[in-house]
């Protein structure tokens, strides 16, 4: 299951905060802040999708993620590779390195990361 763009934005705040009340989440947004009802609706949809849960304290709810950021984005990157690059990581890597305007230093960093992963396998 996937989050909408607005749900991803809210989830990003929740991942950073780890646990948060509605006020904390609203404070995390830049101006102009969304309405309380908008955030409440997004939280409900995200809970229905199984991405978050909450703990009640009287009339307040403390929200927390059920899905780790790394797991969420890993699933979607793998889906992107499967759907747009014929399930070929090398096609994805070729596209990524050629089409993203990486600097020489960034490419060298990627090369070091890949070399380290090869060494560890």
Averaged pLDDT, 87-110: 89
Delimit the CATH 1.10.10.10 region(s) of the chain: 5-65
**CATH of region 5-65, choose from 1.10.3720.10, 3.40.50.720, 1.10.10.10, 3.30.70.1280:** 1.10.10.10
pLDDT of residue 96: 85
Q: Are 24 and 38 in contact (CB under 8 A)?
A: no
pLDDT of residue 20: 97
pLDDT of residue 36: 94
The candidate with the shortest Cα–Cα distance to 61, out of 87, 33, 25, is: 25
pLDDT digits (tens, 9 = 90+) for 77-98: 888 888 889 988 888 888 888 8
pLDDT of residue 67: 95
The candidate with the shortest Cα–Cα distance to 25, out of 1, 52, 50, 57, is: 52
pLDDT digits (tens, 9 = 90+) for 39-74: 999 999 999 999 999 999 999 999 999 999 999 999
pLDDT of residue 98: 86
Instruction: Report d(CA 82, CA 103) in Å as an integer.
Output: 27
Cis, peptide link before residue 32, omega less than 30° from 0: yes
pLDDT of residue 121: 86
Instruction: Report d(CA 31, CA 16) in Å as an integer.
Output: 18
Q: Are 54 and 64 in contact (CB under 8 A)?
A: yes
């Amino acid at each position: 299951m996937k989050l909408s763009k607005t749900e991803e934005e809210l989830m990003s705040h929740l991942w950073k905060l780890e646990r948060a009340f509605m006020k904390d989440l609203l404070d995390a947004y830049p101006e102009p802040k969304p309405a309380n009802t908008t955030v409440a609706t997004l939280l409900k949809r995200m809970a229905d999708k199984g991405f978050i849960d909450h703990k009640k304290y009287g009339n307040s709810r403390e929200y927390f993620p059920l899905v780790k950021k790394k797991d969420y984005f890993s699933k979607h990157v793998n889906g992107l590779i499967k759907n747009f690059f014929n399930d070929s990581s090398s096609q994805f890597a070729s596209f990524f390195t050629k089409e993203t305007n990486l600097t020489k230093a960034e490419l060298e960093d990627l090369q070091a990361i890949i070399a380290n992963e090869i060494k560890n396998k």
